[in-house]
Chains A and B, each alone.
Chain A
Amino acid sequence: MTLSVRARITHPNFVFDVDVDWPADGVTVLFGRSGSGKTTLLRLIAGLERPNGAHVSFRHEIWMNDRHCVPLHRRRIAIVFQEASLLPHLSVRENLLYGYKRTPVAERRLHLDEVVRMLAIENLIERHISKLSGGERQRIALGRALLTSPRLLLMDEPLSALDTQSKRDILPYFERLVKEADVPIVYVTHAPAEVERLADRVVFLRDGRIDRIETLKNTLSRSDSPLFNDEGVVSVIEGQLGQKEYGLTSFHVGEDCFWLSTPIYSGSVGKSQRLRILAKDVGIALAIPENTSLMNILPVTVQCIDPAREGYVLLWLQLNGGQNLFSEITAWSRDRLDLRKGLVVYAMIKTAALAE
């Protein structure tokens, strides 16, 4: 049950050459810089690029080989593009139903009511398209894609055209969709934060070639992952949202509890979520600091100390529940505190840092 692509495209200043397959389930993120070929790979899967000699297959179906090519409208793939690409001559409702009407009745798994509820677009449905904001358009485009009950959902940098605020607003819907819609997803992005919140596995592309494919867990557990090139090392911690207090939301990871600024993590109580913490936002104390304004202080065990950029070291810390937390501190501090493997110390994280 895999998705496999084999293709070679040669342009004067760009060579794209891949031979790759991965399981057709969960969320697969294609990650790379601009021009690394991630969109080309996505368009090959969609059948929008048809180079000679290419081979694409999905589960037991051959979508493209030397002899034939299944056209996009018969593949039952849905695509969400970078810009929402709503059809401007149709209303919001007509846009949503455009694909639904063209899906055979027997194949319809998702219906208008469910999708409208999932994406919270009740109040948009009667509005005119030109009156929608960028984030709202992208939600409609996502709803329209889901309503075709696709066998595979392709997303080509769906958030990159949005401002930071809209991105924050829409990400929770994407997370919910990933969990509820039960559709394999291929997601193109160059934003590490989106990878860390959505991905099950990551396909790294560089200069038109596949660098490597690994699970999110694996890529997050090596400090040289390409995901960390921009913002430095990041830990992703899984846990459940809890009760609100003082305008903060608790986040439970085993016996440990983090306090988060609420607006961003607005999911419901008991829901599992991913929390993203930059290594440089984590400080270390040898004893529980008293009389401090910091809210998030957790006991951790030092697993390993690696050199990082000049003057800094990277600490691999283990939380009580066994999950990994990175901390980047100066080499000087390491010597001052005499940090060693196996030592139990306290990790301190500012609440604001947890809000991204």
Chain B
Amino acid sequence: MAIATPLAWWLTSGRSAFRTAVQAVVALPLVLPPTVLGFYLLIMLGPRGFIGGTLEDMGLHHLAFSFEGILIGSVLYSMPFAVQPLEQAFSNLGRRPIEVAASLGAGAIDRFISVILPMTKSGFIVAMTLTFAHTMGEFGVVLMVGGNIPGVTHVLSTTIYGYTEGMQYAAAGRLSLMLLIFAFIVLFVVYWFNRGFEMIKP
């Protein structure tokens, strides 16, 4: 959210070609198979990659097959789910309320807290819930970057995969049902709070 909020604001406040390009990049994970994103991340974060290599040079460990790697992957992969509802909310808001607040003596941070945040509350709720839920359910990126090493880079979705592979249908079924119910509740709550609010559908 810390990255998505300023990004969404910046995307809303202009229409240059560069902004459109960034917008497209942010939306890429919606279209690409997660394994593609995971593959590139693995290359970049791995010992011979640009980021991983730099880290190795600095005497740190590279990020492939680590918790940090999964975290970075998840942030990128879930970015559109945070950015798009916020962008929508910000552009619905328009510039006028902010101009009004500024003319009444409110500085930038004051304006964000006293006007933007309360007026785009629903956008933030949608963004946060969708991001959280989507991160819970992701698979491809985690598998590629994390490597599904038991006890180290294990998440719910890969665990289910593991159970199914090992023919443990009962355990896989229990976990799957939990995820299903959880996802349904989250979506229900989101839609309930935002009846009439435009948003992307996962």
Contact surface of A with B, Cβ cutoff 8 Å: 46, 48, 71-73, 76-79, 81, 83, 85, 87-89, 98-99, 102-103, 144-145, 148, 154
Contacts and interface: CB of A to CB of B under 8 A. Distances in A.
Tell me which of A73, A88, A99, A144 has the highest count of chain B C-beta atoms within 10 A of its own C-beta: A73
Given A81-B96, A85-B97, A87-B97, A72 B102 contact: yes
Contact of A78 (B104, B106, B118, B119): B104
Contact of B99 (A48, A99, A102, A144): A48
Interface of B: 96-97, 99-107, 110-111, 114-115, 118-119
B193 to A, nearest CB: 15
B98 to A, nearest CB: 10
A58 to B, nearest CB: 14
Contacts of A154: 103
Contacts of B110: 102
Contacts of A76: 105
A89 B114 CA distance: 10
B115 A87 contact: yes
Contacts of A85: 96-97, 100
A85 B104 CA distance: 12
Question: Which 8 A-B pairs give the minimum distances between C-beta atoms?
Answer: A99-B104, A102-B105, A79-B103, A72-B102, A89-B118, A73-B102, A85-B100, A73-B105
Contact of B103 (A77, A83, A88, A89): A77
Contacts of B99: 46, 48, 72, 79, 81
A73 B110 CA distance: 11
A79 B95 CA distance: 14
A120 B111 CA distance: 29
A101 to B, nearest CB: 9
Contact of B104 (A46, A48, A89, A148): A148
B141 to A, nearest CB: 37
Contacts of A144: 104
Nearest to B107: A73
Contacts of A73: 101-107, 111
B105 to A, nearest CB: 4
B97 A98 contact: no
Nearest to B115: A87
Given A48-B99, A79-B99, A102 B119 contact: no
A148 B97 contact: no
Given A88-B119, A89-B118, A79 B105 contact: no
A71 B108 CA distance: 10
